[in-house]
Copies of this chain bind each other. A is one copy, B any other.
Amino acid sequence: MTENGPDWARLRQAFELPDAHYFMGNSLGPLPHATRSAMRAVIEEQWSQGLIRSWNLHDWFHLPEHVGDRIAALAGAGPGEIVAGDSTSVCLFKLASAALRHSGRWEIITDRDNFPTDLYVLSGIRDLYPEQVEIRPLPVADIPDAVSERTALVLLSHVDFRSGRLYDMEMINRRAHDRGALVLWDLSHSIGALPVALNASGADLAVGCTYKYLNGGPGSPAFSYVSRELQASLQPILRGWMGHASPFEMRADFEAAAGIRGMVVGTPEVLALSAVKASLSLFEGLDLRHLRERSLHMSGALMATIDGIDGDHGLEIVTPREDSQRGSHVAIRHAQAYGIVQALIRRGVIGDFRAPDLMRFAITPLYQSEADIEALGTQLAEVLATREWADPAFSRRSTVT
């Protein structure tokens, strides 16, 4: 920490970075050195030497809570309010199914442009109760007024995966609570990218991804948040022996463990959770307000650079200009977005494409510098000026967020 905030150059050295300008931290964060050594230790010592004893010796048993507590510190939540484990999709089902049973209501409202998995999870819940459950996918702007006494749950992404728009968590929570509805937030595109204020905003439920801004590794476990208040009454529907009050008594009847542990399902994913735990150590001692300030500065600079590129090229910035409404990536619309992204990649600037016409560039102050922003601006201007996006080498293919 320097007088003006963290020593960013030093933080950057904590990662193994590719020889490229990497703007895909909202898809897969790079490998921290700390994770590499932690994984050697968990595999080559804890598993290899400790074997079964490591469940106690290295407290594998409580990894979901230990990792959860570290995430809680970034999410404005208290210790014992978050557990890590299972995929984001499974966590969404876990909390949405529990919320539905809890409410006794049948309507679920969501952003019609939500990340697909959020919509798919809800469609599965609807098919459990095809005659009762009503899923209402709405434009986000209509949601606050649409919530009613019939609404069981509102499911929203905190930051929109396409536009990068940041939603007002406190306002939506308040509107929903006024009508007795719960809100489930998907923090996949905000956790680790900006300060999240779960407790202060009165949040009920949340899930999030750890392989994006938390750098937990490809396909790393997600997390589940249940507010302490709600923990007293919310019963899991998706149950497993590791969420039992007394797992080793091997009782036939299910009794959920007290607190957030009741949301653990199967055996903790020790290797993957160990990777996340190590990657979270990079956030220790970091004030997320500094991260946020730098992120906004960098995304602002990127948008200014885009503005500076000759307007005839048809670039449209989709991400809100207003700081308070912007997450940590910049999305740009262009009819040739796919070819542009491919040309940039060939030039060592790695962003991604989202069908049909969006390119996205994540801002990750932990390991990016101003030089990355400059390089993106320069290369994008050249790709457009030379129409390099039309190169026939860029045939359409799939990519993964």
Binding site for B on A (CB under 8 A): 16, 18, 22, 24, 27-28, 30-31, 35-36, 39-40, 43-44, 46-49, 51-52, 54-56, 60-61, 86-90, 93, 97, 101, 112-113, 115-117, 119-121, 123-125, 127-128, 137, 211, 217-222, 235-244, 247-254, 265-273, 275, 350, 352, 354-355, 397-400
Contact = CB atoms under 8 A, between A and B. Distances in A.
A24 B51 CA distance: 9
Given A43-B217, A120-B239, A121-B239, A49 B18 contact: yes
A220 B60 CA distance: 13
A400 B250 CA distance: 11
Contacts of A235: 127
A217 B120 contact: no
26 contacts: A22-B51, A27-B52, A30-B48, A35-B43, A36-B43, A36-B44, A40-B40, A56-B398, A60-B218, A60-B400, A86-B87, A86-B90, A87-B265, A88-B240, A89-B242, A90-B90, A93-B238, A115-B250, A117-B239, A123-B253, A211-B267, A217-B270, A217-B271, A248-B399, A267-B400, A269-B269
A214 to B, nearest CB: 14
A400 B55 contact: yes
A31 B48 contact: yes
A89 B30 CA distance: 31
B18 A51 contact: yes
Contact of A16 (B36, B48, B397): B48
Contacts of A398: 56, 247-248
Given A120-B239, A266-B89, A272-B272, A51 B30 contact: yes
A88 B267 contact: yes
Contact of A128 (B55, B89, B97): B97
Given A127-B101, A219-B269, A237-B128, A116 B48 contact: no
A361 to B, nearest CB: 13
Contacts of A40: 40
Contact of A239 (B35, B124, B211, B249): B124
B24 A116 contact: no
Contacts of A124: 236-239, 254
B400 A248 contact: yes
Contact of A222 (B47, B113, B128, B266): B266
Contacts of A268: 219
A271 B90 contact: no
Contact of A240 (B121, B137, B221, B400): B121
A97 B219 CA distance: 24
A397 B249 CA distance: 11
B48 A39 contact: no
Residue of A54, A88, A113, A250 with most partner-chain B CB within 10 A: A250
Nearest to A235: B127
B237 A87 contact: no
A265 B92 CA distance: 11
Contacts of A22: 51
Nearest to A270: B218
B31 A273 contact: no
A272 B399 CA distance: 21
Nearest to A49: B18
B399 A266 contact: no
Contact of A123 (B48, B112, B239): B239
Given A120-B244, A219-B266, A222-B266, 17 more contacts: A24-B51, A28-B47, A35-B43, A52-B350, A56-B398, A56-B399, A86-B86, A87-B265, A88-B266, A89-B266, A93-B238, A97-B128, A116-B241, A117-B239, A128-B128, A219-B272, A219-B273
